[in-house]
Amino acid sequence: MRILLWYWEGISIKHISRFIGIDRKTIGFWGSVVRVVCMNVWNESQVQIGGEGKTAEIDEAVWRRRKFKRGRRKEQIWIFGGVERLEGGGAGPRFVMIVPNRRKETLLLITLERIRPGTTIMSDEWKAYSTSNLHNYIHKTICHKRYFVDHESGACTNSIEGLWGTLRKSFSPYGVRKSLIPDHFSHANGEIIEG
């Protein structure tokens, strides 16, 4: 139980191994068990967000890229997600998924599947989002080159951007195997699993 608790708290395998006196492979095995269980809970908790009178933020992000074009070239992994804003402030239910690309057809299909009609959708000005108005959504955009909150329309994507930051912090700075990235999304933050 201690291994699982410390693993969940983000303590490194190296430190857990030192505290308990068990080899790293055993701890790594139990860490993978935690990720699999979390992934199952995560998959079951993927719900639709939004609805009449509600607001959701959507965004896409690239997960693997070389910083300053240095290091080994890695395949880019695109993720797409949405966060429902709560009335009193803060983030509510959400979804995050790996997508094959960030084309309009791909993101629109997921938007239609994961966000209820009548929702006010806030996004950046990425051209793939421009068709959201055609499908019973109210669509507001924010130009990040000028500001992060549009004071006239109230549009901003700070909640979804904050989610990306939280997820990125949970990953090892040395990288994660591509096959394990979905497991890490589900394990990264207890809030996400509740989605």
For residue 33, tell me if it sits in a domain: yes
Does 173 have pLDDT greater than 70?
no
Q: What is the pTM of this model?
A: 0.68
For residue 194, tell me if it sits in a domain: no
pLDDT tens digits, 52-73: 999 999 999 887 655 556 666 6
Q: What is the pLDDT of residue 192?
A: 35
Residues 17 and 106 in one domain: no
Contact 115, 97 (CB under 8 A): no
Residues 83 and 174 in one domain: yes
Residues 124 and 173 in one domain: yes
For residue 157, tell me if it sits in a domain: yes
Residues 61 and 155 in one domain: yes
Residues 97 and 35 in one domain: no
| Domain containing residue 68: CATH number | 3.30.420.10
Domain count, the chain: 2
Q: Which residue range forms the structural domain that includes residue 29?
A: 2-45
Does 116 have pLDDT greater than 60?
yes
**Mean pLDDT throughout 141-150?**
74
pLDDT: which is higher, 194 or 137: 137
For residue 189, tell me if it sits in a domain: no
| Interatomic CA distance for residues 123 and 110, integer angstroms | 14
Residues 37 and 67 in one domain: no
Residues 71 and 91 in one domain: yes
Q: What is the pLDDT of residue 58?
A: 92
Residues 75 and 139 in one domain: yes
Does 161 have pLDDT greater than 90?
no
Task: Please tell me the number of Cα atoms within 13 Å of 56 on its side-chain side.
Answer: 26
Q: What is the pLDDT of residue 193?
A: 30
**Mean pLDDT throughout 127-145?**
74
Residue 185: pLDDT band with limits 50, 70, 90: low
